[in-house]
Each structure stands twice: as structure tokens, then as C-alpha cells.
Amino acid sequence: MALLCFVSLYGATAEQVSAHPPEFHRKSAAVKQLPVKRSVVKFSSLNSLPEDSMPEKSPQNLSGQEPSEQQPSEQDRLLAMGQYKFLADLARRCPLRIQTQVLDHLLDEHRLATQAPLSCTLNELLNNRAKLREELRQRIVTLSASWHRDQLSWNAPVAPLIVAKGMTRFVIVDMQNATDAPLTIAAASPAVPEFVSSAVIIPPGSSQPLLLEIAAEPAEPKLIFTAGELTRTLALPVSMVAPSRLRAKLLDGETGSSTAARIWVEGSDRQLRMAGPFAQNRSFTEKPVVLLPAMGVARVPFFYADGSFEIDVPPGSTSVTLERGFEHDLVTETIDVPAGETRDLTIVSRRLLNAKEKGWVSGDTHIHWVTNAWNVDLPLSDLAFVQRAEDLRVANNLTLLHRTPIDAFIKPSQAPMGPVVTMSDPEYHIEMAEEYRNQNLYGHLCFLNLKWLVLPIGTGPQIAGDDSLDYPINKTAILQAREQGGISIEAHGVGANHELPLNAVHGLTDSLDQIEPDDYYRLLDC
């Protein structure tokens, strides 16, 4: 038996194009969004490796804690929930270069707070929390205040914060509860009324971080803190400066011609800002966090630009990183942009690997080019643009079936099965294909090289509606795909794909779209 495993050289826009709606999968890992500087990577996305692929804990010890470890108290869980809410605010509003670390840690905080299986130990959580807080202090101004029975005050003098006119920046306030009763508190800045921090519970004698977004007007904005029926304010001195403007050109290092790319812009305040054609398109600027549907979305910390972009930034040192998928090295340029002035910057891509010359083709076997709502197509012209920005030679756009109590749809549906001729050329290829799904997790399948859809596309009540049986098994669908020359790829890794070992034994598995090396070699022994 010949078993082929595609190692995606793409992965780079996985969180943009291949995250499933929360109800599609019961288990999933956190989003991976940071720039990757590796030639071989584990495919990562908002619905990455299922937790089933993680090492299992014993039934007697589902928390993952050793018997000798200190067990979390009720106060520990309250504090963990507050940390989770703070980090969720951060991930939704203020994307940083450490966005992956923020998301991974907030999942750990939530698991411990809710006593979920696979939670880490309390000691491990506290150590990781301290490390992350130190990382955040290096990126976001952190202030300290105390809520007393009769007053609210800063714990130390606060220096004026520099904020560019017409822009906002974030601050963290560590709020100390100096009373003898639990405090439920939220914070807001009247200058940015659309954002109110999540309310957190602070036990007596403890502190919790709160995220605030401030603007330069008025000159001394008031921060509002609300606890029950009490509302108190703190003055925050601000120094307003003129914004700066950056104009950048993006060039291909081999041809010298203009190129599309993924871009990260980090200003002097360490915040990442958006520009480009999709800067106002929420399907590009934020993505659902699959494992925690209640959290909603997380901001995407990068944007796409086609040959050039212009962006307003705070004055000072500005870092711009160009990324073009896994065949190119990351290129970072730093430039100082004075207040009120415009500076020009040229960034040239640098090839790390020419996969085509070595007989390989960079490609993604699992894309769903739809909006975050999943029931609306995105234009294929936008997919072609992102494909070139990631230097991804082959993009497979998978159609699927889904039904909810209020909706039913087969999406994406921009074109029939097969090559999209109008979006393909000798260098880049877009193909319409299918994800065949089921409720009982026989294993979702990616069918490529199809001439027509393999019916019924999806089975089981949660996928295809209450009147749908979770039948037939995957073997039947795989054989139908092969009758038309199709390729069958096991989706989402080994995790919950119950039929995968049987399919491998019977020669029905052509590929897997993500897999650990150990599992790959185990399957070769089937």
C-alpha cells in the first residue's frame, strides 16, 4: 500500500480560509497566527489538531494533575476566569505578535477555571501566567490601581501616555481589591465608548488585569470603573502628537517586480495595525475561536497588500515584516517615522526554497473560501490574490453541506467541481473540490480532482438536519470519488477519525491533510 501525506507548504493563511464553524467539531486546538520561519511545519489553523490527538489522561485523573499537585481552590478558579476574560478582550481588540501565545494561554486559564479535562496543573498555569504577563508588560503600558472601601486611586504616579491624534492605544490596569469583600468590576474609557472591558471578580486582597482602549482626546481622559452600583473614575494624563504615515512598496527579490504579500506592521506602541484592501472586511480581520464559541472571535494580526500599501502609525520606530508563505524567508525592515511626516519604504522578498525546482508543489488541500458566517461565498478573485500573496501554487476550495435550525446551505459554491479556469494559469491553480462530512466522526474527507459532488455531501442530524441518517460509512463515499478519478484525503488529522486505520489497511486513504510523524509511520505499518 502506498500512503501519501501532504505536508502543506501553505498553512500561512489557514486561519483565514480553513477554520470551521464552532459546531462543526467538538474538539479543536487554538489558532496559530504568528509568522512561521520553518521549511517543514505542522499545518495550523483555527480548527487545527483535535484534542483527541493529545496524550490521554487517565480516567481517574482527567484534570491532568498529578496526585501530589496542589488542587485549585475556588479562588484559584475565580482568578483563572478573570485572567481568561482579560486575555479574551486582548485577543479580540489588540492583536500582538504573541497572539498565538495569548490564545493558547487563555484556553489553559479557561480549562482550569471550568475544571475541564486536560487542564494543566495549577503550578504550571501560574508559571505560564507570570511569563505571559511579563511579555505583555514589554508591549503594553501597565498601570496599577487600588479599589478601597471609600476611594479608587493609582498606586504610583502615572506619566503622560503618548497617543497619536485620531488613533487609539491600549493600557492594562492591574486592579487591586483593597476591601474585605469580593469585587466584580469592569472598566471603560468614554473616549472609546464601543469597548467596555469584560467584568471580572476580584477576591479580597487579590488583583486582576483590565484592558482599556484610550484616545488622545480629551487631553486628560477619565477611565471609568464600575463595581455594582458604584462608579469611580481615574484621570489618565495623555500627550497628543501628530500621527505619522508610512508608504511601502513590496518587490519580488527574484524578478524585481511588484508582489502581493502578507504584512505585519508594528508601531512604536507595539500594537499591530491594519491596511490593505481587506482592512474593513471582518472575514479577513477576525476569525472564530473554535474551541471556545462563547469567546466569539480573535483578531487576525496581519493584513494582505498587493504591491504597496499606506498606513498611519504612531511616530517613532515602526517594524514591517513581509511574509510570502513557506518558500520565502521572513523579511523585516525597521524605520523611524517622525511625527506628522511621511516616510517611504521598499521591502524585497527573499526566497528560501524553490519547491518547484525540487519536484514539489506548494498547495493547500483544505480551503473553505466563505465569510465567517459560512453561508456566504467570498469572491474567488480575492482567493487568487491571497494565493499569490502566500505563493501557494495550488488551492483547493472545498464545498460542504451544513444545516442549522434556521439555515441550510451548500458552500462555497462559486464554481462547479474541477479547475477554475478563469483563476488559473501555468503558475497558480484554483480547484473546486468537496469536504464530505459526517456527525459520528468516521472522519471528514477532502475529495479532490472531482468532476461532480459525491452525494449526500454530509450525513447525520448535526450536519445534514434532523431527518438525516449518519450513513453511509466513508468507504462508500471514497469508492464513489475514485470512480470519477478523485483523490481521498483524511481531514483534520488522526484525532477523531475513527475509520482512518481501516481505510489505510484497505488502501482507501490517499493522503492526510495533517499528521504527526509518529502517526504517519504507524500507518505505514498497517
Domain borders along the chain are 74-241, 246-349, 361-525
Q: Round the average pLDDT of the chain to a whole number and report it.
A: 87
- CA-to-CA distance for 287 and 278, rounded, in angstroms? 14
Pick from 133, 135, 76: nearest CA to 109: 76
What pLDDT, on the 0 to 100 scale, is given for residue 290? 84
Using pLDDT thresholds of 50, 70 and 90, give the confidence band for residue 522.
confident
Give the largest CA-CA distance in the chain.
77
pLDDT digits (tens, 9 = 90+) for 443-476: 899 999 999 999 999 999 889 888 889 999 999 9
Across 349-362, average pLDDT? 94
- CA-to-CA distance for 383 and 521, rounded, in angstroms? 34
pLDDT digits (tens, 9 = 90+) for 53-108: 333 333 344 444 444 567 899 999 999 999 999 999 999 999 999 999 999 999 99
- CA-to-CA distance for 16 and 14, rounded, in angstroms? 5
pLDDT digits (tens, 9 = 90+) for 280-315: 999 999 999 988 888 999 999 999 999 999 999 999
CB atoms within 10 A of CB 166: 12
What pLDDT, on the 0 to 100 scale, is given for residue 495? 67
pLDDT digits (tens, 9 = 90+) for 322-338: 999 999 999 999 999 99
Instruction: Kindly state the cell numbers that stand for 380.
Output: 474567488
Across 256-280, average pLDDT? 97
228 exposure class (CB count in 10 Å sphere: 0-12, 13-18, 19+):
exposed
> CATH number of the domain at 74-241, out of 3.40.50.300, 3.20.20.140, 2.60.40.10, 3.40.50.2300?
2.60.40.10
Distances (CA, A) of 246 to 262, 265, 332, 338, 362: 16, 10, 15, 10, 32
CATH architecture for residues 246-349: Sandwich (2.60)
473 exposure class (CB count in 10 Å sphere: 0-12, 13-18, 19+):
middle
Greater confidence (239 vs 46) lies with 239
H or E stretch at 477: helix 474-483
- CA-to-CA distance for 218 and 404, rounded, in angstroms? 47
pTM confidence score: 0.85
What pLDDT, on the 0 to 100 scale, is given for residue 32? 34
pLDDT digits (tens, 9 = 90+) for 20-56: 443 333 333 333 333 333 322 222 332 332 333 333 3
Using pLDDT thresholds of 50, 70 and 90, give the confidence band for residue 127.
very high
CB 225 within 8 A of CB 152: yes
Measured at the CA of 394, the angle between CA 25 and CA 455, to 5 degrees, comes to 50
Topology agreement, domain 74-241 and domain 246-349: yes
What pLDDT, on the 0 to 100 scale, is given for residue 462? 86
Question: Quick check: helix, strand or coil at residue 201?
Answer: strand
pLDDT digits (tens, 9 = 90+) for 364-399: 999 999 999 899 999 999 999 999 999 999 999 999
